[in-house]
Amino acid sequence: MKKKLFIIIGLAMALTACGSGEKEFDATGTFEATEVTVSAKASGELRSFSIVEGQDVEKDMVLGGIDVTQLRLKKDELSTAYSQLGANQRQLDATKSVNSSRQLDLEKQVGVIKQQIANARRERQRYSELVADGAVPRKQLDEIDYQIKVLEKQLAATVDQLTATNSSLDNQNLATDAQIGGIDAQRRGIEAQQAQIDDQISNATVKSPISGTVLEKYVEQGEFVTTGKPLFKVADTRNMFLRAYITSAQLEKIKLGQKVTVMSDYGDNKGKSYEGTVAWISERSEFTPKTIQTDDERADMVYAVKIAVKNDGLLKIGMYGKVKLSK
């Protein structure tokens, strides 16, 4: 009696499931990943390149290097020229400093002579009063007058020398400034060349632009590569996407950021469920791919969607998958 009861309940559950018509999935597709083909940014012999297909790499991980011997020699040559320019400018700066010292010395001499004349004139005024009173002889006043005349001639000569020196040194300084300006321009040119070479040397280092897995390797160590030649392909297999296709009737059930259930398919009804997030919905419809199943098998036009899924290591590029829109 109990056995009959179990059979009846099982049949009822089966009929209920059939009657509901609910499908296990709403759309199907294949898993894919962001793939990047890394090309050479410089030309030369590939001195090191030891990666293997299937190797896991990290972003900015150094994977090889192109010969940069000639670039380093050119950089050393520029460094020598840069140092020579610095020595030339220091020499010109020293010349300007000497010129400034000469001008300063002459200006100081003019100041000293002027002060001596002023002192002598005050002394003359005092002696002229003493001569008027008959306290000192006239001869002492005449000596002071003579001294003042000598100082005035000395002052005039020193001023003339200062004027001539200023004029000459101004011309020299203008020429020196022009030379320094030329050195500055040459220095900036060398700095630009050095920056360019540094960039070229940096480009000779082969790095992975993303974290992921090496899918294909196109060259071997020791080969001569040219700028733009593909070196290897890497894919971000840690963050996968299921590219599935839905009908226009299903568009109202899906939106960006929506959480859905993604199921991998290993064949023989084996698989695993993952939480996925709707990352992209195509704005244009397309004809249903022959390998794709949809909720409505009669649909001729479908919309592509991408479901982002965190890979646990079991999902592979090109693997068949299903998606259930309602969790």
- Residue 9 within any structural domain of the chain: no
Taking residues 110-127, report their average pLDDT.
84
Range of the domain at 241: 24-67+214-324
Whether the pLDDT of residue 20 is over 80: the answer is no
Residues 123, 238: one domain?
Answer: no
* 182 and 155 inside one domain: yes
Alpha helices (H) along 2-68: 2-20
Residues 81 and 193 grouped into a single domain: yes
Q: 313 and 287, same structural domain?
A: yes
Q: How many domains does the chain have?
A: 2
Tell which residue, 199, 196, 195, 203, has the closest CA to residue 43: 203
CATH number for the domain that contains residue 146: 1.10.287.1490
Last residue of a domain, one of 202, 224, 259: 202
Kindly state whether residues 154 and 229 are assigned to the same domain: no
167 compared with 277, residue with greater pLDDT: 277
Domain assignment present for residue 14? The answer is: no
Domain annotation covers residue 108 = yes
> Do residues 184 and 238 share a domain?
no
Give pTM, 2 decimals: 0.64
Q: Which amino acid is at 209?
A: P
Q: CA 254 to CA 327: how far, in whole Å?
A: 12
* Any domain includes 17: no
Q: Residue 269 above 70 pLDDT?
A: yes
Are 75 and 59 within one domain? no
pLDDT tier at 99, thresholds 50, 70, 90: confident
- Going by their DSSP bridges, the two strands 56-57 and 212-217 should be labelled as antiparallel
What is the side-by-side order of every strand in the sheet holding 44-49? 205-207, 62-66, 44-49, 224-225
Do residues 232 and 218 make contact, with C-beta atoms less than 8 angstroms apart? Answer: yes
Q: Tokens at residue 164, please?
A: 């001539």
